[in-house]
Amino acid sequence: MKALRVTGAWLAVAVASIVPPFAQAQAGQGTVACRDEIGSAAAKRLVAQCFDASPATRPPCNVVNPCAMIREEIARSCKLFEASSPLPADLCAAGRTP
């Protein structure tokens, strides 16, 4: 039986192919923390809304993540539940600000 030789380049390609697209998108969404973008109090309100909406076990609801990422999680959650058990309208209102 031949031994498999793994090179760094091969490993990088293998890992990139199994990383979920959502995780890849997160990495490139920007580096400005939400608290720096809209202020600490507003970012904390947005994070609370995110936790209220998201069914994820590890949602991106954190003030150090970009606000766009947090808002996308809220929108994703609202869309996910719109048919079966809608989330409160005020939480899912388009253009809602924290």
According to the model, what pLDDT value does residue 88 have? Answer: 74
According to the model, what pLDDT value does residue 91 have?
A: 76
Domain ranges across the chain: 34-95
SS3 per-residue string spanning 74-93: HHHHHHHHCCCCCCCHHHHC
pLDDT per residue as tens digits for the range 8-60: 444 444 444 444 444 444 555 558 999 999 999 999 999 999 999 999 999 99
- The Cα angle at residue 26 between residues 34 and 14, in degrees rounded to 5: 155
Task: Give the pLDDT score at 29.
Answer: 53
Distance CA 27, CA 65 (A): 10
Contact between 45 and 98 (Cβ < 8 Å): yes
Phi and psi (nearest 5°) for 30?
A: 125, 160
